Every structure is written in C-alpha cells, then in structure tokens.
Amino acid sequence: MIRSWIMFCRALLAGLLAVFSSIAVADSTMRLSVDVRDAGRRLYHTEEELAVHPGPLTLQYAKWIPGEHMVSGPIQNLVNLHVFAEGKEIEWRRDLVDLWGFHLDVPTGVNQLKISFDYIMPAGQGQYGSGVSSHERLALLNWYTNLLSPRDISPDDVTVQATFVKPRNWGVGTSLVATRADGEAVHYAAVSLTKLNDSPVLTGEYFRRIELSPAKGPYGEHALDLAADSPGNLEVPQARIDAFKKLVAEERSVGGGIGHYSRYNWLVTLSDTLGYNGVEHHESSNDHAPAAYLADDDTFKKSPDLLTHEFFHSWNGKYRRPAGLINGGFTLPMKDDGLWVYEGMTEYYGLVLATRSGLNDEARYAEYIAATLGQLSLTGRRWRSLQDTADMAPILYGNNGNWYDVRRGTDFYDEMNLVWLEVDCKIRELTHGAKSLDDFCHIFHGQGENGVPAVKGYDSAEVYSTLNTVAPYDWKSLLEKRLSSKEALPPMAGVEAAGWRLVFSDKPNTADQAGRQNYMCSIGFNLDDSGAVTDCRAGSAAYKAGVGPDMKLLAVNGQKYSADVLYLAVMQAKHSKAPITLDLDNQGFMRHCTVDYHDGLRYPHLERIKEKEDVLAKICAPRT
C-alpha cells in the first residue's frame, strides 16, 4: 500500500519534472572536474560545464545524503561560487526556503554554463561525508560536495563526465571506471549523477591496494584501497588479509551467492586525524579508521565490524532500501522509519560476518553483546520507543551525546542487533535448525540479479511476509512489540534463546572501548580518559548524588583523580559504609557530590546457560 502510493507519486513527479526540465535545461549532461591538490589546506576546487536552455534555472547542492539518512549536505562549505555564460558572469540568488538552491536566468541564446566554486573541507567537525576527510598525505572526495546540478532533473537522468585531479604519483581507488590518466588528472567513463554521487574517490601518497578477489574469480573484483598517515600503517598481517578474503565468500553466501555490484572497493583512510566512521555505497564504502587499524591487532579488535558492516549495506540499504528512503534525488526529504531493518540488520550481520570470516571470535562477539546490554538507555526507553529512535534519526544522529540514558540515541543499531539475534534464533527454533536469518537474506537481498547496481524499495509488510516464507510465525506482532516497547529493560529474549545470559563481574568488559572507565552498571557514569563524565545513568547512585554529563572529575575521597584512584575507591566501597566523595569541575564551577554506593565494580558479560544449546556458536560458524 505504501509502496504503490509512493511509486505513483514518483511517476507523477517524474512527469512534472519532465515538463519543468524542458523549460531550462537542454540536455542533462555535465562535464565536471574536481581538483584536490590543495587537500593539505582542505580546499577542493570545482570546474563544471552544464548544458542548459535559456530561461529560469535552479542549481541545487546535495541536501539529503543517501547512507547518512539526514540533511547533511555541507552547503556552509561551498564558497567562491561564480557562474558564467559565454564568458560573462551571471548573477544568482539563493532560494529563501531551501538554502541549498541557487536561482538564476540563463540568457537567450546560451546553451552552456560554466560554474566554478571551492569546497572548504571542515577541520575537526562535521559528520560522515561532510566531515574532515583529507590532510597533507591523503584526500577523499565525495563528488556531491563538489557539484551543482539542475534541481528539476532527476540525478538518474543527468550524465556526468568526471575528472579527478590529484597530486602527481598519489595512488587512487574508486569503483568508477577510469578511461584515461594523464599525469595528475584521471578521467572516468560517463555515468549518471546518481552513480557518481555514490562513487567516492580516495587518493593518497601512502597508498596500497590489496586484492581480495580477482575480477575473473567467482565473486568478481573486490579490493581494499588504503590511504594512510604513514607507510607503516599499510603493513597488514597476512592473516587479516586472508580473513577479509573469506569475508567476501561469507557475505556472498548470505546474499544467496548474489552481489549487486560490478566490483567492490573499500576506500579506507588509516589516519589518527579523520575520526572513525563509515558510509556505504552500492559498489564501495568509505571507511575512516585509526592509523593502526589494519596493522595492529589490538586496534583492529576494538571495532572488527567497520568494513563488514559497510559491505553488508551493499545488499541491505543500497539494493534493498526502505521505500521512505527512496526519493529520486538529493533534495527531497527522506523518511527514516525503516532504519530498524536498514541499519539494525546490518549491525547484526556486520558482527556475525566479522566472526564467521575470522576477523572476530565468538568470545569477543559475546562480550560485545554484553557491552551493548550494559550501555543501552534505561530511562529513555520508558518514554521513547525503539521505532521513534528511527523516525527521529535525522536529528538523533547529531545528538548522541549527553544524557543518552534519558534521551536515547540511534538505538535502531544496537538494540535492533539484539532483536535480529532473537529473530535468527526463532527461525532456527521453528525450523529445528534447518533454516536461519540467512535464508531470509537469500530471498530478500538476493533476488537473482547478480552484478547489477539497482534499488528495490520495500515496506515492513514485505519484511514480515518474507520471514513468513522462511518460517511461518506471527513476525509482525513480535517485531511491532519490540519496536513499540516501553519496557524498563532491553530485550533479552535473543541472548537467552542463543543460550547465554547477562551477568556482572568486577572484570571490565573487553569489547567496551571505555574499558574500566565505564561505570554505568555500578556507580552510574561513564568517563573518558581525562576524567570527564561522558554520560550519567538516571536513577543511579551517582545521579542521586548530583553527578551529570560534562562535569570533570578532580578528586575522589579527597585524593586527586586518576583512573586508578576511582577504580580502587569503587572497589573498596563494597567493604565500607562510608560514601564515595567526588569533587567535580562543572564548566568552571565546583561541585561536591557524596555518592552512597556499596555494590562494588560491575561490568557486563555473557555467561552460557548450560542446559541450553549454544546457538550463538552456530550463528558465528563459517558457512564456506
């Protein structure tokens, strides 16, 4: 019902756009050149030639970014814009409602515009594609940050001849097909604007390509394209390379042997200045990881699912996409209500596939689930449903900070991970082990269309009906119950069906990046390395004593704060009736808190339920 309504509207819109497009745009072709040779100063330069018709024209900068699910097109960083027709500059006026749009009049007799502008790469700010992604030695280009296109033509119907200009001798990775490279310029085969925007380019002085699967092999070309802070960051242990090769086989197996891409490239920056995140694309992903991420085991172990998560998105998110996220362009709003499948199932398979391929192990997978359970909001879940975290995602992505426990954040990742575990276990139980969530993926994500990047929308009804095809059950009721729950505790059914239970001990959780500084399950707050309170759990002993986020711990029981001093104080309070006293710097004002807490250190872990089968081990076992 929802899908057909949307498809009807899209058809209507396409008809209207065709009428509009005939007013101002001759044909939908663009020649685009983006020069990143000044990446060290965080300036990218655009030269664009656009075929047009005389008359009114609106040029549009990307606003809603696919894969980021929000208004994150960094219009504030577009500067130095000039538009010329036959050598004469044309005036433009910004749209007063949609600030990403520029109105102008194409003079009589003119059929081409020349457009130039600079893009200022932010330093240490911005999210995902609009965040910092270049420095002296490397640069990542998301084309959509460096082009303007006619607002009234679908990006599917705009053909772009793109050129990427980079420092001489720097390596290049992208899923685009290069037709020619002359010195500093790489020219790419013409593609639609939709595909160009979905195909970032990574370049770097310290660059390495690691082939995981050859073009003529059974799975087609898969490669890690790495650009790093220094050459040592590119030294990847052979065991990890072999595990990534296995990942390709494991992932294709979940997708029913099908891949919806002609080639796949992970574009990975290995840098300590570009943050940590990943954005998915049909035929690639851009992944920002710490400099030592691939070279060092301990660094990799902290987040073994970054590349596996983004890879799974090629099926779940890019090929199969919630109907509300398909709007035919970069201008119209997206609806994020389906992210519980798009991101939630990807979170689940990102970890499962990392484990099946040997990039992770079952013990650590169990620790990760325990850390999730220990960290999930308790207060926020009493007023905001899991579904609302998805509905509100365009805003929540930028507000995952203080008072998470009350606010909730993008829980459609972590909490849905637990729910998809429950669904997987339920299918296995209903079919006596004959089927699993993988069978759902064969049908839902495979679809028998190998090697073709395409988008197929769906709604929740299709998710429920496909699950029913795999194993008849009232999936709608189960999933709607989880999505609408206002229960006090996170869903435990999946963990217990997998043969495990949540327990607490005085040993820090090894998958928790905060390590022993995470006191959320004990005294009731979380600290960063400097002793700043990153979050506080409502109702905890620390909360009752007046501790809140963004305060900085200065002293514990009258002794200058250090990680050891606090750790020992919480441990020793178990054997004492005396409260723990905390002195905190609260944005320049001093606060003294007396915390009445005596339950000792409590860190979350999973423990096997001996009388139950270890289904988690079966889920984590390689299929190939």
- By the 8 A CB rule, do 153 and 169 touch? no
Q: What is the closest distance, in whole angstroms, from the C-beta atom of residue 280 to Zn ion in the complex?
A: 6
How many Cα atoms within 13 Å fall on the side-chain side of residue 505?
A: 12
For 457, other C-beta atoms within 10 Å of its C-beta total 18
**Within 571-600, which residues bind Zn ion (CB under 5 A)?**
none
d(CA 411, CA 416): 7
- Number of CB atoms found within 10 A of residue 489's CB: 11
Q: How far is the CB of 85 from Zn ion (least distance, A)?
A: 42
State the number of CA atoms in the 13 A half-sphere of 536 facing the CB. Answer: 18
Q: How far is the CB of 74 from Zn ion (least distance, A)?
A: 20
Least distance from Zn ion to the Cβ atom of residue 20, Å? 34
Query: Which of 36, 421 has the CB closer to Zn ion?
Result: 421
Is the Cβ of residue 127 or residue 581 nearer to Zn ion in the bound state?
Answer: 127
Sketch the per residue contact string, 329 through 358, with Zn ion: x for CB under 5 A, - otherwise.
--------------x--x------------
Nearer to Zn ion, 146 or 346 (CB): 346
Our CB check for Zn ion shows the closer of 322 and 499 to be 322
Minimum Å gap between C-beta 21 and Zn ion is 33
Nearer to Zn ion, 343 or 512 (CB): 343
- Asked if 152 and 25 count as a contact pair (C-beta separation under 8 A), the reply is yes
- Give the nearer residue to Zn ion in terms of CB position, either 68 or 367: 68
Q: Are 52 and 111 in contact (CB under 8 A)?
A: yes
Q: Which is nearer to Zn ion, 308 or 518 (CB)?
A: 308
Q: Alpha-carbon distance 70 to 280, whole Å?
A: 14
Nearer to Zn ion, 287 or 343 (CB): 343
Cβ of residue 475: shortest distance to Zn ion, in angstroms? 23
Least CB distance to Zn ion at residue 309 (A): 6
Closest to Zn ion by CB, 343 vs 367, is 343
Closest distance of CB 339 from Zn ion, Å: 9
Helix (H) or strand (E) holding 71: strand 70-71
* Of 145 and 417, CB closest to Zn ion: 417
By C-beta, is 343 or 411 nearer to Zn ion? 343
CB of 343 to Zn ion, least distance (A): 5
> How many helices (H) and strands (E) would you count in the chain?
19, 35
HEC sequence for 3-53: HHHHHHHHHHHHHHHHHHHHHHCCCCEEEEEEECCCHHHCEEEEEEEEECC
Tell me the closest approach of the beta carbon of residue 313 to Zn ion, in angstroms.
Answer: 6
CA atoms within 13 A on the CB side of 51: 14
Q: Are 64 and 295 in contact (CB under 8 A)?
A: no
Q: Which helix (H) or strand (E) holds 541?
A: helix 541-544
- Shortest Å distance, C-beta 365 to Zn ion: 18
Residues 528-567, mask of contacts with Zn ion (x by CB under 5 A)? ----------------------------------------
Residue for token digits 């992932």? 251
Smallest distance, Zn ion to C-beta of residue 571, A:
38
Q: φ and ψ at 35, to 5 degrees?
A: -110, 115
| Maximum Cα–Cα distance across the chain | 88
Are 255 and 441 in contact, with CB atoms under 8 Å apart?
yes
Burial 578-605 (b: 16+ CB within 10 A, else e): ebbbbbbeeeeeebebebebbebbbbbb
Shortest CB 521 distance to Zn ion, Å = 27
Site map 285..324 versus Zn ion, x via CB under 5 A: ----------------------------------------
Q: How far is CA 551 from CA 225, 397, 548, in A?
A: 41, 23, 6
The footprint of Zn ion on this chain (CB under 5 A) covers a number of residues equal to 2
CA-to-CA dists, residue 107 to 31, 32, 101, 111, angstroms: 20, 22, 19, 9
Q: How many C-alpha atoms does 213 have within 13 Å on its Cβ side?
A: 21
| Site track for Zn ion across 485-514, x = CB under 5 A | ------------------------------
**What is the SS3 assignment for 321-383?**
EEHHHCCCCCCCCCCCCCHHHHCHHHHHHHHHHHHHCCCCCHHHHHHHHHHHHHHCCCCHHHC
| Alpha-carbon separation of residue 444 from 7, 416, 449 (angstroms) | 19, 18, 12
Nearest residue (CB) to Zn ion, 119 versus 266 = 266
Between residues 72 and 346, which has the closer beta carbon with respect to Zn ion? 346
Interface contacts to Zn ion, rule CB under 5 A: 343, 346
